Amino acid sequence: MARTGVVRIGVTGHRTIPADAEPAVRAGLSALFHGEGEHEALTSLAAGADQLFADIALAHGVPVTAVIPGMDYEAHLGDAATLAAYRRILRSCAERVQLPFEPTHEEAYFAAGRWIVDHADHLVAVWDGRPARGLGGTGDVVEYARRCGVPVTVLWEPGVLRD
């Protein structure tokens, strides 16, 4: 999967990261891009973990590939600030992958998660360890990565629960 020595790191994670978990998540994401070798970041640029991951990758000079679910994605990203962040990050991406249209939003999200896993050498999950709340959630993507043999690093603050 790695191209000419480039390590492709994908992300999956929650759209809301509690304040008590954020320092550990930020530190863990930043640590991914320290060290030797070239990296590429794969993300769907959703609110929360995906946008944080992309911002940190870009701050480290790591090229970002945006994987856009096949749906009316921008209409479902969230509030105006989330949409503005998405558009800002998207303009900075080295590549954009537009996935085929899926019948439901959940199927589109899961397709994007599978694409990221299928093209990653490593998956980082900003995840509380609990089951997905809907098809294509973080737990489903982590399970898929583990079935595929893609190494997964979970970033979270122990004992912190999501709302």
pLDDT in tens, 42-86: 999 999 999 999 999 999 999 999 999 999 999 999 999 999 999
Cα–Cα distances in angstroms (integers) from residue 25 to residues 18, 79, 112, in the given order: 10, 22, 22
Distance separating the N- and C-terminal Cα atoms of the chain: 36
With beta carbons less than 8 A apart as the criterion, state whether 60 and 37 touch.
no
Evaluate if residue 2 carries a pLDDT over 60. no
Phi and psi at 126, nearest 5°, equal -90, 95
- CB count in 10 Å sphere of residue 45: 26
Q: What is the pTM assigned to this prediction? A: 0.94
Domain boundaries, the chain: 6-31+39-155
Band of residue 127 on the pLDDT scale cut at 50, 70, 90: very high
User: Any residues with CB less than 8 A from the CB of 4 and at least 6 apart, and which?
Assistant: none
User: Any residues with CB less than 8 A from the CB of 124 and at least 6 apart, and which?
Assistant: 9, 10, 11, 12, 13, 28, 29, 32, 53, 152, 153, 154, 155
Evaluate if residue 129 carries a pLDDT over 50. yes
User: Any residues with CB less than 8 A from the CB of 72 and at least 6 apart, and which?
Assistant: none
CATH number of 6-31+39-155: 3.40.50.450
